[in-house]
Homo-oligomer: A and B are copies of this chain.
């Protein structure tokens, strides 16, 4: 008697893992809210007022399904990027697009290369479709393009992943380094270049887009610099055959209508983006200063967060993190050694940064006790 579902063998094997515990979940478990929400690399500076207005306006139109082709948004992005609309797919955040991409290429036992300690949600999808993760270590807190490419060739990887700028370390490579990586992608491998944090990086971190280059797919998002994490709008840029392949499997009517409208308005508000970039840069400096004041070092960052080296091992950093959380500061940290000697602090409003500056010395003292 087997009443109920018979899962696939793969699903039976999968753990009930969750890539991240959300701040709301943590708040419910703690029984009280956080004072500073600076752990998920969200943008406290929020979306453009024009995006907010567009979303509010679209609320009453929510009875209509969203445009299944995200046509207006794709056209605007194509125009902005100098590629064809056929080179762009819009999806439910980079997380959603990574899921589709992995499903397109990764079957049971297929190898996928990434850095040990890099973005866990990508790993979640790879494992979820039966792929086998092969990792290379970070080198000096940077992802290691040469090692990633070499490993991809060695194991015949179907995908090799790099985030530039990197999450969780905030470090980055220049365009020439990434272009060399693209040029060295082994036959039969696709490079997944996650550029979620690109808008926070210095000029010259992204190689020029060649829309016909079948060796790389680039992922970008409205979740970070555009301040719309809750809207779930990401996009991928790639060669047309690959972009078209998403249509074989994606949830065609999966994009929320309000989100499409918001992203379109956000894309056109360059002044807001520039203002956010300025605030992020200032807040990064403030975080580095706070680290220094506490006798700690921080890593140069091309993102909206800063990795602060707590100066000891992962166990110590985890204690610091727990003490910060106990003081109502929501932060996160890298999962893997040796990067887990750091905590990862998202930038915030001056009052968020004040709260962190107040809590950090207490947390360090408690962690040392």
Contacts and interface: CB of A to CB of B under 8 A. Distances in A.
Interface string A42-61: 11111100011001101111
Given A55-B258, A64-B230, A5 B251 contact: no
Contacts of A30: none
A139 interface: no
Interface in A114-160: 128, 158
A67 interface: yes
A215 interface: yes
Contacts of A2: 187-188
Given A256-B258, A262-B59, A5 B229 contact: no
A60 B52 contact: yes
Contacts of A52: 59-60, 62
B55 A104 contact: no
Contact of A107 (B9, B55, B104): B9
Contacts of A247: 16, 18
Contacts of A66: 230, 232
Contacts of A190: 4-5
Interface stretch (A20-28, A195-203, A291-299, A316-324): A20-28
A63 B47 contact: yes
A40 interface: yes
B251 A96 contact: yes
A25 B249 contact: no
Interface string A215-242: 1000000010001111110000001011
Given A46-B63, A231-B256, A257-B230, A239 B4 contact: yes
A71 B5 contact: no
Contacts of A19: 252
Contacts of A43: 63
Contact of A68 (B18, B187, B228): B18
Nearest to A226: B63
Nearest to A55: B59
B249 A188 contact: no
A20 B64 CA distance: 14
A249 B124 CA distance: 8
Interface string A1-39: 111111111110011111111111100100000000100
Q: Is the interface of A mostly helix, strand, loop or mixed?
A: loop
A168 interface: no
Given A17-B248, A22-B67, A8 B95 contact: no
Interface in A272-306: none
B16 A215 contact: no
A167 to B, nearest CB: 14
A232 B45 CA distance: 26
B5 A242 contact: yes
A69 interface: yes
A253 B19 CA distance: 10
Contacts of A228: 62-63
Contacts of A110: 8
B187 A3 contact: yes
Nearest to A92: B254
A87 interface: no
A210 B275 CA distance: 54
B232 A256 contact: yes
A11 B249 contact: yes
The 9 tightest CB contacts between A and B, nearest first, are A230-B257, A4-B214, A55-B59, A56-B56, A22-B68, A24-B67, A5-B190, A63-B227, A62-B230
